Amino acid sequence: QLMQEISGLKVLENQVKEKFQLEKVIVVPGNSDDERRVKQELGKACVSYLKGVLEDNMTIAVTGGSTMSLVAESMTPLNKKNCLFVPSRGGLGEQLENQANTICAQMANKAQGEYRLLYVPDPISEKAYQSIIEEPAVKEISNEIQHADIVLHGIGEALTMAERRKTPEDQLKRIKEDHGVGEAFGYYFDKSGKIVHKVRTVGLQMEDLQKIKQVIAVAGGTSKADAIESYFKQGRSNVLITDEAAAEKLVKG
Ligand code: BG6
């Protein structure tokens, strides 16, 4: 029976892979909406995938979120030379435990790697943004981030994320009116994958993803299926680590 279950997951992996034209899909059993254990399995799968692709002297950029925080929890020493962890973008208005900085430091400590953090007020006005990106210290870390070799990121439901980040009322209204369903890196997407809103911050911008070889999305749960689909409509990451419940909804449409 176990063999049957495993082969069922393999079928799902291939179907999702075909659907979004991805390089690699990993599906863990269960539904992260119902069980924290399943989210922990996503974390473990991510760590083991990372170990397979990581080389000496690589930089790994990570986002925040509860899923990424479980990736950090599962992290073990990477046994590679000069691995640097950086947050992918600013705090995006998240609580400390969900912020990329926090998770980045935790991951690096468990991996026995180095880390560098990004200190910017966040979200930030256009005017302040233009001047802060000229600060030498900010420029230096931004540069490390933009040249990351590997990106690990979460995907969230648009409204869940907007509310969690205490997004101002007018912006929230716009995300709703424009039918935002998914969110990643502070960008909000509608069903067709179009960007409907973006949080202004330093660090990784959507266009930077194109030149990064390993962009690994980690997201599961039935509730995230539409969000995952909206994000992958424009094919922005090459690896997806998800769970059975989300994968089933993704392939059934
Ligand atoms: C955030 C990331 O911190 O976590 C988002 O910046 C992502 O891009 C979100 O959507 C996912 O959070 P969670 O808690 O659902 O893993």
Confidence bin at 94 (pLDDT 50/70/90): confident
The chain-wide mean pLDDT, for the chain, equals: 95
Q: What percent of the chain has pLDDT over 70?
A: 100
Q: Are 245 and 221 in contact (CB under 8 A)?
A: yes
Verify whether ligand 1 is closer than 6 Å to residue 237 (CB atom): no
Ligand 1 atom nearest residue 64's Cα: 3
Interval between CA 68 and ligand 1 midpoint (Å): 8
Which pLDDT tens digit goes with each residue over 220-232?
999 999 999 999 9
Confidence bin at 122 (pLDDT 50/70/90): confident
Q: Are 66 and 106 in contact (CB under 8 A)?
A: no
Verify whether ligand 1 is closer than 6 Å to residue 203 (CB atom): no
CA–CA distance, 240 with 151 (Å, rounded to integer): 12
Which region among 6-15, 122-131, 205-214, 244-253 has the lowest average model confidence (pLDDT)? Answer: 122-131
Interval between CA 219 and ligand 1 midpoint (Å): 9
Interval between CA 123 and ligand 1 midpoint (Å): 15
Q: Are 218 and 42 in contact (CB under 8 A)?
A: yes
Distances (CA, A) of 25 to 21, 54, 149, 176: 10, 17, 19, 30
Q: What is the pLDDT of residue 48?
A: 98
Verify whether ligand 1 is closer than 6 Å to residue 171 (CB atom): no
Span 48-65, average pLDDT: 97
Q: What is the pLDDT of residue 124?
A: 78
Confidence bin at 119 (pLDDT 50/70/90): confident
Reported ipTM: the value is 0.97
Ligand 1 atom nearest residue 94's Cα: 3
Q: What is the pLDDT of residue 200?
A: 85
Q: Phi/psi at 198 (nearest 5 deg)?
A: -145, 135
Verify whether ligand 1 is closer than 6 Å to residue 161 (CB atom): yes
Strand, coil or helix: what is 87? strand
Confidence bin at 126 (pLDDT 50/70/90): confident
Q: What is the pLDDT of residue 129?
A: 87
Interval between CA 65 and ligand 1 midpoint (Å): 4
Ligand 1 atom nearest residue 98's Cα: 3
